[in-house]
C-alpha cells in the first residue's frame, strides 16, 4: 500500500542523516522505525504473559528485593535524557 507521510523539515533532515549514516534509503530507515514501534511491547501485551512463563525465563537470575530494584533503576535511569517528541511536535511555530 502506498501512502503519503508528511514530515517537518527537522524530521526530514534527521531521517536523511540517519539514512546516510546507515548507508540505507530514507524509506528503509522509516520502515524499520515503524516496524520497531508497532512491534514493541505494550502494557496489555506485557500483562498477557503468564507468570509461569516469566518465572521460567528468569529462573537463573538471583532474587532481588523491590528496594534494590528501585535503587538499581535510579542509578541507571537518566530521566533528563528522555525527549518527548509528541510535546515537541505540538509546540507552535514562530510564525503562528
- The pLDDT tens digits for 13-29 are 999 999 999 999 999 99
Q: Is residue 4 part of a domain?
A: no
- The per-residue b/e assignment along 64-82, b for 16 or more CB within 10 angstroms, e otherwise, is eeeeeeeeeeeeeeeeeee
Distance CA 49, CA 40 (A): 14
Q: Is residue 96 part of a domain?
A: no
Split into its structural domains, the chain has a count of: 1
- Report the length, in residues, of the chain: 96
Q: Is residue 1 part of a domain?
A: no
Per the structure, the complete domain to which residue 65 belongs is given by: 9-89
* Grid coordinates given for 61: 537470575
- pTM over 0.85? The answer is no
Q: Is residue 57 part of a domain?
A: yes
Reported as a pLDDT band with limits 50, 70 and 90, residue 80 is low
Amino acid at each position: 500500500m502506498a501512502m503519503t507521510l508528511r514530515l517537518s523539515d527537522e524530521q526530514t533532515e534527521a531521517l536523511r542523516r540517519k539514512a546516510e549514516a546507515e548507508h540505507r534509503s530514507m524509506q528503509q530507515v522509516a520502515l524499520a522505525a515503524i516496524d520497531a514501534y508497532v512491534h514493541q511491547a505494550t502494557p496489555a501485551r506485557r500483562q498477557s504473559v503468564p507468570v509461569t512463563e516469566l518465572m521460567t525465563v528468569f529462573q537463573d537470575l538471583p532474587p532481588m528485593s523491590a528496594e534494590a530494584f528501585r535503587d538499581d533503576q535510579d542509578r541507571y535511569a537518566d530521566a533528563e535524557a528522555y525527549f518527548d517528541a509528541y510535546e515537541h511536535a505540538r509546540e507552535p511555530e514562530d510564525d503562528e
